[in-house]
Structure 1
Amino acid sequence: MSQLAEPPVRDETDAHTGQPGLAGRKAIVTGGTTGIGRAIAILLAAEGAKVFVCGRTPTHLDDALARIREVGDGDGLSLDLTDPAEVKRFVAEGARYLGGIDIAVLNAAIPADSLSDTQADDIPYIVDTNLTAYMTAAKAALEHLGPGSDVVIIGSMSAQSRGGESTVYAATKTGVQAFAEALRKELAEKDIKVGNIEPGLTGSDMQLPDIPPEKQREMIHKGDMLRAEDIAAATHFMLTQPRRTAVSLMRVEPRLQTR
């Protein structure tokens, strides 16, 4: 361009992609009564989404709903997701309460140890909670999800680190990782987005009793551990991207986590 030519008109509109909001959306959240799921449900409700959650413990459900209703609208059920009939009931009741479903957050999980430290009789229940229930809940939700919907799967960095101290847990979360990737490909043409968020070490009841609450707070302050709300923020980011954009995998780790 000649130095005498007029400079181009500054136009920054193309530098800012549109971010859809969450107001008016209808979300179910499995494991939405404690930890990461609770934080996600609260943030979604605060952003204007209507939420329906589930958890295994009635007192945890009551606590979560009290907080959700302080910032928005929500309801839920106490149930066990290892029972396929209960999964169907949760999704059906959620769709009824919400008036449909356009966000499914699949999060419910329980801790598990190495194979040596796990009772053989406990393995089927762990697998059913940490892997099978993701598939049965997704299957039930698909009856309600249409174009413009989102599935957010909460996996774990254990699918990458695969530490020997958590053999059984790592196996289930590796399965969740594969499921999320394949489901994204299956549903892409239907305009149903699927994303997998893999948190690193996160403060929650799942760390008890190995890491007591006071130790968790110390680790969070130092940057050795995430807060559950950090994963809620990642979920918010994933859900507020344009429909052309699929954030298929996010790994969120404490700044000082190196293993």
Structure 2
Amino acid sequence: MEKLKHHLPQSLTGKKIVVTGGTTGIGRASALLLSELGAHVLIVGLNEQHLKDTLQDMYAVAEGEVYDVIADLSTKEGIAKVFSAVDDNFGTPDILINNAALAFGNVEEGSYDDWQRVINTNLLAYVACCAEAVKRMKDGGHIVNVGSMSADVREATGSVYVATKSGIQGFSEALRKEVNEKGIKVTLIEPGAVDTDMQPQSTEEKKQEVKNLKMLAADDIAVSILYCLSQPKRCDVVDLKIRPHLQII
């Protein structure tokens, strides 16, 4: 990691970073990498066991401080709980990584309550977390919104999920224009298929898909996020699309 630090245009040591969905998949991989590079990281999770497992791994490698909060981001109370923890531990965050999301199919599945929970978690929470972060980023900052290739592919089997990821795409583009003069960067990351809990295959099947170049590892996206965060102030990575080599879409 020391050698890697020397190659980063901008150091992340001491940066105060909030990672939603930070206990599994992309969020977990990002939290581990950034804490190992010396950032102070607050992870937000919903499952207590996932949180404990992630914290154990973070404590083993972290060069920065580690914080955590359990919160349901589909509710306004959950958002308030997260930013109460931000205020208590950080005061002013430098970076927000919006990553928490729920998988879902199409409108022929589920009920109004199901759709509301997915939309609240996948889209409204992004808006709310960005709003709270912007209020606190008095001297600039960086927001990374993790979207999905679904915003472009718009598969018929996931219209509700597609609606949320398309919303994140449009929101991120408009948000960058809104906060640019405040010195706040906005980056949208849109991965293809990634080996996370959101994929329905078994663990072994997903590992094979990664080996066969048809699926990405969560670490691939974490390193991509690191690239975006470490660029100099003059450089904005606005939109980064990452696909498995053999996922032709």
Q: Tell me which interval the TM-score lies in, with the shorter structure as reference length.
A: over 0.9
User: Is 1:191 equivalent to 2:183 in the alignment?
Assistant: yes
User: What amino acid does structure 1 have at the position aligned with 2:204?
Assistant: E
Q: Secondary structure at the match of 2:244?
A: coil
Alpha-carbon displacement from aligned partner over 1:133-179 (angstroms, at most 9, x marks no partner): 00111111122213341001100000010000111100100000011
Give the aligned partner of residue 102 of structure 1.
94
Contact 1:26 1:103 (8 Å CA) reproduced = yes
- Quick one: which of 221, 224, 231 aligns to 1:231? 221
Alignment of 1:181-220 (within 5 A): 181-207=173-199, 210-220=200-210
Superposition CA RMSD, Å: 1.4
CA distance in 2, matches of 1:18, 1:230: 17
Alignment of 1:7-156 (within 5 A): 19-72=9-62, 73-156=65-148
CA distance in 2, matches of 1:143, 1:65: 28
| 5+ residue gaps, structure 1 | 1-16
User: What amino acid does structure 1 have at the position aligned with 2:73?
Assistant: L
Q: Secondary structure at the match of 1:229?
A: helix
User: Is 1:168 equivalent to 2:164 in the alignment?
Assistant: no
Whichever of the two has the greater Rg, that structure is 1
User: What amino acid does structure 1 have at the position aligned with 2:100?
Assistant: A
- For residue 39 of structure 1, report the CA deviation from its aligned partner: 0.6
- Quick one: which of 227, 235, 245 aligns to 1:245? 235
CA distance in 2, matches of 1:181, 1:233: 22
Q: Secondary structure at the match of 2:186?
A: strand
Contact 1:76 1:94 (8 Å CA) reproduced = no
Give the aligned partner of residue 169 of structure 2.
177
Give the aligned partner of residue 10 of structure 1.
none
Alpha-carbon displacement from aligned partner over 1:205-246 (angstroms, at most 9, x marks no partner): 111xx3110000000011000001111001000001111111
Contact 1:51 1:98 (8 Å CA) reproduced = no
Determine what percentage of the aligned residue pairs are the same residue: 38
TM-score (norm 2): 0.93
User: Is 1:159 equivalent to 2:151 in the alignment?
Assistant: yes
CA distance in 1, matches of 2:220, 2:35: 16
May I ask how many residue pairs the two structures share in their alignment? 241
Contact 1:28 1:91 (8 Å CA) reproduced = no
- For residue 99 of structure 1, report the CA deviation from its aligned partner: 4.6
